[in-house]
Amino acid sequence: MQEVSALKLPKTIVIRDPGYLEHDQGPGHPESPDRLRVIYERLDQDDVKGRFKTIVPRSAGRDELLWNHTGDYIDKIAKTAGRNFYRLDPDTATSAGSWKAACLAVGGVFAAMDEIAGPEAQNGFALVRPPGHHAEKDRAKGFCIFNNVALGAYYARQVLGCERILIIDWDLHHGNGTQHSFYNNSSILYFSTHQYPYYPGSGRADQTGEGDGKGFTVNVPLSPGAGDEDFAAIFNRLLVPIGKTFSPDFILVSAGFDIYKDDPLGGMEVTVNGFAYMARILLNLAESCCMGRILFCLEGGYNLTGLRDGVLAVLDECEDMSVLDSDTVSRLDNPGPGPHVIEHVIDIHKDYWPIA
């Protein structure tokens, strides 16, 4: 009989639940249940099944949602339960199961963080929907209902006792809701790469925070066409030195796969290798700062092939089963100076962080 100590336990957890498929904004909407179906189906195939520990989410409570949202807004979303269709903004609607899914999305992030903060798991991916980073405290926006990652940062502070939380947002679109949640807060550092100018219109490089939070919002606005080497340069030249100096207790990632080269809503050129490399950088940063504690949380991504393969590439990195060959790693480790915006961001933030 094999001893328990000899068993290889998964260090990577995955949050998944059929309840997330119950949020349906109608035919033709890009943020559809199929986004998760293709990922879940891939994780159930023989070559992947059993590699990751699946965690069942819980539902976030109203008192927890109040950390980041107003009571009136929470009540407004709650009243949509059981209604076939209710439009929240021009891009965002609910169905009968959306209230439940939205509470499970937040609660799934909490459940994942509990596991990662425990003795067994080290990292994970919350494969949840609806996404969250556009949601403001009092309104839905851009396919998002509750701000899953912002609430995760509050959970890290309020429940897990973390002092500093680093949020990295690589979604195509700027996370306006997340930025606004912590704009005057020095305990949460928000680092965003995004296509600009583009929806939602926020995320200029000179938006750096206010008051105590000055310098703790780092925006890297990018023109269309940025690819693997550009993101590698940004992560290596900006994110790594800033992240190491900040020294977070927990890292949360708003992982949007709409920067994929064939995404219908985007203009970026990132490949599956690019997602794997970005994940590798962040995993190494987590190892050096916070005992490997990092949670990737699903945001956008509307090319189903790129979304599915990109998520699996990130999960492979989490489990030290990389899709990257040595030549690709060498190329991305030495990507050159990168896009010109890096110099602009350095000039803006040089008084706050040791970057050059």
Catalytic residues: 134
| Cβ neighbours for 47, distance < 8 A, ≥ 6 positions apart | none
Place of tokens 């990018």: 222
| Cβ neighbours for 118, distance < 8 A, ≥ 6 positions apart | none
Query: DSSP 3-state assignment of 81?
Result: coil
Place of tokens 């939070």: 213
Q: From edge to edge, which strands make up the β-sheet containing 294-298?
A: 53-55, 12-15, 123-126, 294-298, 250-255, 165-169, 188-195, 217-222
Cα angle 66, 174, 94 (rounded to 5 degrees) comes to 50
| Cβ neighbours for 2, distance < 8 A, ≥ 6 positions apart | none
- For 201, left (φ over 0), alpha (ψ -120 to 50), or beta? left
30 vs 302: CA distance, rounded Å: 6
Let me know: does 338 contact 237? Beta carbons within 8 Å: yes
Q: Give the N- to C-terminal CA distance of the chain in Å, as an integer.
A: 56
Name the maximum alpha-carbon separation found in the chain: 61
160 vs 236: CA distance, rounded Å: 29
**Sequence letter at residue 317:** E
Let me know: does 103 contact 148? Beta carbons within 8 Å: no
Residue 247's alpha-carbon distances to 164, 188, 192, in angstroms, are 7, 11, 17
- 150-187: buried (b, 16+ CB within 10 Å) or exposed (e) per residue? bbbbbbbbeebebebbbbbbbbbbbbbbbbbbbbebeb
